[in-house]
């Protein structure tokens, strides 16, 4: 029995050492890979995974399309190359459980900056890789996109049905009494909760305060009692910014009255119908791409709030899809090559870049969607005649600077999540 125990202990020690060695080697490979060009990485991937079956995991099903073009690229380099990449998309935000302690997946595409920071980065479960070609790309938007590495930034924007007399010229108009904007539940889609966390950061809270200052006296009087009420919560929530009470007031009013929906698709379908006169929502911008026009339904029934001249405040929020490598990845070279392909080439990013509302940090990856709402000629090319103004995407720079999107920052979101999360849940629970 003692010999058996000794053997088992030795085996456990060996497995533990192998696990640490695997993690260390993945980190070492990433360090090497960050000094190599895409072409060098592609060759490494061919050597590593030829004849193998790999499993990727991601929040976006478009990984299934991207992995096929990646395999085709490698086959173009080496005609004898043959591999299979299977792509899985977990449900109900279970991706974090799937990745924890796993060596099953070679790469992941993941969202929800708060949980990524607290469950994946702080614990070392996922490792960050920044391709050399990404670093050296012209015009790359590195700020808040480098660690963790963002594949894309997606926007959710305020829209309203313009068939009635309702007007929304200020972000505070969406929290006026009885507006009840349509929005996905913050606990069913955590990026929406991260948006509310981010509003409390000093720079974003200042945007909320400045918008309040632009309101007329009558509207300010509506919101002032709530601002005074939450002022006492600022310190309790660990916030220190001078304008935090304005952000908290907006969050409280939003949570008290938004109408919860299960998905952005139904929200879009509601807003584009002329029967929804005056209804508003906060939803993924790209949903407008798939609206089927009819007598009662049209993209022209919807106005993107921030596109209006004179609109004040933030026009929506932005969350991100991040590309990362599990610490137990069995194919780290291939993971690096795949990430480099998706984040630095237009072909690799095409699965996401084909639609408006999704923006790559590397401008060369992007397709132009500024005329998506224009009429098309016989060859399918856009003319200069605008048909659906709401579909003409003004692009990443405009949305960040003019549209004043509230952009997810994993580190900040995670730093306030515990206190703010409970505060928000309490408000929603009292609806």
Indicate the domain borders of the chain.
Answer: 2-151+321-364, 153-319+377-429
Q: Percent of the chain beyond pLDDT 90?
A: 90
Q: What confidence score (pLDDT) does residue 331 get?
A: 98
Q: Please give the structure tokens belonging to residue 430.
A: 């009292």
* Mean pLDDT value across the chain: 93
Q: What confidence score (pLDDT) does residue 13 get?
A: 43
Residue 124's contacts (CB-CB under 8 Å, 6 or more residues apart) are: 23, 327
Residue 12 has pLDDT above 90, yes or no: no
Task: Read off the pLDDT of each residue in 64-78 and give the average, rounded to a whole number.
Answer: 97
Residue 115 or 20, more confident: 115
By mean pLDDT, which of 49-53, 302-306, 377-381 is the weakest?
377-381
Cα angle, residue 29 at apex, residues 94 and 102 outer, rounded to 5°: 25
Core vs surface per residue 161-200: b (16+ CB within 10 A) or e: bbbeebebbbbbbbbbeebebbbbebeebbbbbbbbbbbb
Instruction: Name the E strands within 287-334.
Output: 302-304, 316-326
When pLDDT is cut at 50, 70 and 90, the band that residue 305 belongs to is: very high
Q: Percent of the chain beyond pLDDT 70?
A: 94
Q: How far apart are CA 120 and CA 108, in angstroms?
A: 11
Task: Read off the pLDDT of each residue in 169-191 and give the average, rounded to a whole number.
Answer: 95
Q: Please give the structure tokens belonging to residue 121.
A: 């980065």
- Beta bridge partners, 324, equal 108
Q: How far apart are CA 61 and CA 90, in angstroms?
A: 10
CA of 112: how far to CAs of 46, 120, 121, 409, 430, in Å?
A: 32, 11, 12, 10, 25
The model's pTM is: 0.92
Residue 21 has pLDDT above 50, yes or no: no
By mean pLDDT, which of 22-31, 81-90, 293-302 is the weakest?
22-31
Residues 424, 186: contact at Cβ < 8 Å?
yes
Has domain 2-151+321-364 been given CATH number 3.40.190.10?
yes
At residue 84, the 3 state secondary structure works out as strand
Q: What confidence score (pLDDT) does residue 14 get?
A: 43
Task: Read off the pLDDT of each residue in 296-324 and give the average, rounded to a whole number.
Answer: 98
Q: What confidence score (pLDDT) does residue 188 get?
A: 86
Task: Read off the pLDDT of each residue in 360-380 and give the average, rounded to a whole number.
Answer: 95
Task: Read off the pLDDT of each residue in 128-152 and give the average, rounded to a whole number.
Answer: 96
When pLDDT is cut at 50, 70 and 90, the band that residue 3 belongs to is: low
Residue 131 or 3, more confident: 131
When pLDDT is cut at 50, 70 and 90, the band that residue 187 belongs to is: confident
Residue 5 has pLDDT above 60, yes or no: no
Q: How far apart are CA 204 and CA 198, in angstroms?
A: 7
| Tens digits of residue pLDDT in 23-68 | 569 999 999 999 999 999 999 999 999 999 999 999 988 999 999 9
Helix axis angle, 332-344 relative to 2-33, nearest 10°? 30
Between 3.40.47.10, 3.40.50.2020, 3.40.50.700, 3.40.190.10, what CATH number should domain 153-319+377-429 receive? 3.40.190.10
| H helical segments located in 172-330 | 190-198, 202-213, 217-230, 233-236, 244-257, 264-271
Task: Read off the pLDDT of each residue in 135-159 and give the average, rounded to a whole number.
Answer: 96
Residues 271, 161: contact at Cβ < 8 Å?
yes
| Tens digits of residue pLDDT in 334-343 | 999 999 999 9
Residue 22 or 121, more confident: 121
Task: Read off the pLDDT of each residue in 310-315 and give the average, rounded to a whole number.
Answer: 98
Q: What confidence score (pLDDT) does residue 11 get?
A: 47
Picking from 246, 248, 178, the residue whose alpha carbon sits closest to that of residue 211 is: 246
| Tens digits of residue pLDDT in 248-260 | 999 999 999 999 9
């Amino acid at each position: 029995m003692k010999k058996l125990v000794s053997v088992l202990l030795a085996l456990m020690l060996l497995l533990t050492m192998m696990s640490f060695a695997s993690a260390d080697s993945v980190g070492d490979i990433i360090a090497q890979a960050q000094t190599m060009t895409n072409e060098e990485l592609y060759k490494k991937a061919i050597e590593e995974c030829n004849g193998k079956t790999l499993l990727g995991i991601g929040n976006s099903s478009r990984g299934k399309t991207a992995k096929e073009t990646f395999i085709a690229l490698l086959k173009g380099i080496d005609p004898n190359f043959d591999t299979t990449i299977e792509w899985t998309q977990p449900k109900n935000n279970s991706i974090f459980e799937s990745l924890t302690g796993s060596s099953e997946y070679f790469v992941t595409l993941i969202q929800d900056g708060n949980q990524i920071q607290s469950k994946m980065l702080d614990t070392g479960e996922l490792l960050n890789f920044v391709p050399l070609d990404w670093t050296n790309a012209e015009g790359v938007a590195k700020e808040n996109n480098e660690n963790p590495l963002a594949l894309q930034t997606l926007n959710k924007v305020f829209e309203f049905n313009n068939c009635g007399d309702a007007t929304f010229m200020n972000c505070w108009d969406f929290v006026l009494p009885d507006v009840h904007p349509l929005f996905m539940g913050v606990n069913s889609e955590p990026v929406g909760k991260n948006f509310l966390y981010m509003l409390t950061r000093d720079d974003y809270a200042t945007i909320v305060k400045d918008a309040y200052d632009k309101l007329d006296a009558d509207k300010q009087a509506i919101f002032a009692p709530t601002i005074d009420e939450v002022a006492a919560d600022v310190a309790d929530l660990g916030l220190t910014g001078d304008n935090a009470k304005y952000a908290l007031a907006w969050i409280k009013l939003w949570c008290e009255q938004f109408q919860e929906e299960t998905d952005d698709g139904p929200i879009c379908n509601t807003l584009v119908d002329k029967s929804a006169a005056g209804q508003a929502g906060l939803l993924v911008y790209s949903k407008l791409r798939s609206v089927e026009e009819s007598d009662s339904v049209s993209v022209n029934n919807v106005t993107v709030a921030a596109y209006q001249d004179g609109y004040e405040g933030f026009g929506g929020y932005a969350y991100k899809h991040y590309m990362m490598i599990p610490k137990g990845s069995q194919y780290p070279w291939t993971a690096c090559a795949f990430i480099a392909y998706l984040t630095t080439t237009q072909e690799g990013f095409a699965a996401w870049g084909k639609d408006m509302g999704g923006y790559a940090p590397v401008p060369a990856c992007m397709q132009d969607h500024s005329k998506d709402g224009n009429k098309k000629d016989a060859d399918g090319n856009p003319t200069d005649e605008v048909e659906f103004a709401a579909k003409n995407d003004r692009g990443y720079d405009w949305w960040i600077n003019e549209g004043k999107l509230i952009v997810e920052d994993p580190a900040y979101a995670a730093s306030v999540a515990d206190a703010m999360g409970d505060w928000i849940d309490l408000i929603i629970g009292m609806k």
